[in-house]
A = this chain, B = another copy of it.
Amino acid sequence: MDVVHAEDTRTRLLGTALRLFTEHGVEGTSLQMIADALGVTKAAVYYHFKTKAEITESVAEPVLRELEGIVDDARAQRTRGAQIDHLLDGFVDLVVRHRALVALFSSDPGIARAVEKSVHSSESFKNRLLEVLVGPDPDLTAIVTAQVLLAGIAIAGGSPEVAPLDDETLRETLLGVGRKLYNRPRRRT
């Protein structure tokens, strides 16, 4: 198996795994099912991943890395307002583009455990994410507001009710909710 081909198979494998996880849950999906859906042997799956846990981590990892980048970029903005805008824009965009995975995050403990494991220092990352929204000296309302916002956007964005919406419409709608909670003006487009 040459390297380019292997890379291609790996990408297809992760896409197929995500689809099967969404349909059957992580628990209900076997390596054999993934192999069958791809039309390859179980040995071909093993070439890339030894366990299902490795697959769930690899499915979640790029999205989490992207989120870390958004948080870092947001923290680098010079005003509180710009930091909040950057995080809202980035977080909503991430949720919308990865709706299927986000829905899975919110409903399946298998992938939730994979996320915990991927975000190595997950507690400190979560704190950095919250800190962008709540500022350096937050009161209680700020902390609870941030949690309602992040959880609400993630769950609503991954819910079956909004599945028919195209990305742009869902993005603008979720952003509208976030901006309202944070008293941010509508984005200059």
Contacts and interface: CB of A to CB of B under 8 A. Distances in A.
Interface residues of A, number: 32
A155 B147 contact: yes
The listed residue with most B CB atoms (<10 A of its CB), out of A106, A147, A152, is A152
A63 interface: no
Nearest to A155: B151
Interface of A: 25, 106-109, 112, 140-141, 143-145, 147-153, 155-156, 159, 161-162, 165, 169-170, 173-174, 176-177, 180-181
A172 to B, nearest CB: 9
Given A109-B108, A109-B109, A181-B180, A148 B153 contact: yes
Nearest to A182: B180
How many copies of this protein are present in the complex?
Answer: 2
Contact of A152 (B109, B152, B170, B173): B152
Contacts of A25: 109
Contacts of A144: 156, 162, 170, 173-174, 177
Nearest to A158: B151
